[in-house]
Structure 1
Amino acid sequence: MTLTLYYHPFASFCQKVLIALYEKEIEFEPRLIDLGDAAQRAELSRLWPLAKFPVLRDTASDVILPESSLIVDYLDRHRPETIRLLPDDPEEARRVHLWDRLFDNYVATQLTKVVTDQFRSEGRDDPDGVEQAKATIATAYGIIDEELGRGGRWIAGDGFTLADCAAAPALFYANIAVPFERHEALSAYYQRLLARPSFARVIEEARPYRTLFPLEWPADY
């Protein structure tokens, strides 16, 4: 086995890569990293000095690759024999990348701001920043809902892609802080994501770590 994934199963960007690995049925060695453990953090830092996961190591190609979108792209190009998560057509690929960036930057990253604020000590919290982040998420919901309302099964069309790998964990966590039930097309899309075996597996693997999340879990989660 040449692939090792340095990750944590509860982190949304790691889940994005896990979904891709499970979709493509690629074998890999999981290396769970607890950033609170000095030795494990140092191990990750030696691979990627920013000490952020996920990081993929491919010993066969002597490649160390951070950043979830780059990892999925790498997996897709080097393991093309199964489901393709990025289209060969440049225009279709651009569309997938656009939606991938929207989910990462305007849903997942904004939700991180909301969650991080829960851990700040009194007097150092940022209620204005939290409200701005929630407003950005709500705006993103409207954009996503409008796109899905055009009839595509997945966010970039009829095929499951990198963009859907990004969407699933981003929506899973963001829906807790900023519910999207009034967006019918988005809600229906989310149900399709939940039914996807790769994402269902990711949710179950992350379940033991739910105490790490400071927001209240809905009863139906």
Structure 2
Amino acid sequence: MTLALYGHPFSSYTWKALIPLYAYDVAFEFRIVDADHPENVSVVQSAGPLGKFPVLQDGENLLFEATTIIDYIARHHTGEGTLIPDDPDAAIGMRMLDRVFDNYVMNSMQIVVDEYLCNAESPDMARCGEARARLEKTYAWLEDWLRFYPPMDHVTLIECAASPSLFYADWVHPISDKFPRLRSWRAHLLQLRPVARCVEDARPYRPFFPLGAPDRD
């Protein structure tokens, strides 16, 4: 049975799961989760406790959480040492960075987005300010970390996690000139073939983003 990924083209975590599938030319079927496809919504709701996408279906297996999906793809559908290093210590370091992008970039960005989605006219500016401050601190940390992680075309768990989180975070809290390495790396990531494909597929949905739809990406 062909793999199936359930998600939405505008979803950052769906991107995270799509990027390794595109990067390593893994055969799969994309099944969009929206109001026009209730059968796909039902699968997602059955997979995890909160019914969130992305969900990967492989035969009778249903997996949720993007990082878990990438672990599964790495183990069963790509060559060894591609997405995640074979060396256990190197893998631990990579998973730590994966958590940085999910918990410190993506989650902080989402706080601001949720405020504007819930109350576009009067978002909680104090809460938004705290989230933006966390993003600024994380940008500074990543700027320093990038001294030891030069841009490359090989897609690993790090690129899968970094690409969608930095794409949207820069819309919410722009990466300033204070962080030239981070700005350059974001631009590099968006030029990678699998990431560029996600950017283009998501383009029609940009008007739904509450903080505008930048034309520069």
Give TM-score, length-normalised by structure 1.
0.89
Please tell me the residue identity of whatever aligns with 2:182.
L
Q: Kindly report which structure 2 residues correspond to 1:1-221, keeping only aligned pairs within 5 A, or say none.
A: 1-34=1-34, 40-59=40-59, 62-81=60-79, 84-121=82-119, 125-150=123-148, 152-153=150-151, 159-182=154-177, 183-221=179-217
SS of structure 1 residue aligned to 2:105: helix
Give the Cα–Cα distance (whole angstroms) in 2 for the partners of residues 212 and 122 of structure 1: 12
Query: How far 1:210 moved relative to its partner?
Result: 0.9
1:24 touches 1:82 (CA, 8 Å); kept in 2? no
Give the Cα–Cα distance (whole angstroms) in 2 for the partners of residues 35 and 53 of structure 1: 14
1:22 touches 1:198 (CA, 8 Å); kept in 2? yes
1:90-147 CA distances to partner (integer Å, 9 max, x unpaired)? Answer: 1110111011110011111111111111122479842221111111111111111101
Give the Cα–Cα distance (whole angstroms) in 2 for the partners of residues 31 and 4 of structure 1: 7
Identical counterparts, % of pairs: 37
SS of structure 1 residue aligned to 2:5: strand
Please tell me the residue identity of whatever aligns with 2:147.
G
Give the Cα–Cα distance (whole angstroms) in 1 for the partners of residues 148 and 81 of structure 2: 24
SS of structure 1 residue aligned to 2:62: strand
Distance 1:15 1:83, change over 3 A: farther
Flag structure 2 segments of 5+ consecutive residues without an equivalent. Answer: none
SS of structure 2 residue aligned to 1:163: helix
1:24 touches 1:83 (CA, 8 Å); kept in 2? no
Give the Cα–Cα distance (whole angstroms) in 2 for the partners of residues 123 and 217 of structure 1: 18
Distance 1:8 1:123, change over 3 A: closer
Please tell me the residue identity of whatever aligns with 1:6.
Y
* Total equivalences in the alignment: 216
Give the Cα–Cα distance (whole angstroms) in 1 for the partners of residues 155 and 38 of structure 2: 38
SS of structure 2 residue aligned to 1:64: strand
Give the Cα–Cα distance (whole angstroms) in 2 for the partners of residues 107 and 35 of structure 1: 29
Distance 1:180 1:36, change over 3 A: farther
Please tell me the residue identity of whatever aligns with 1:161.
T
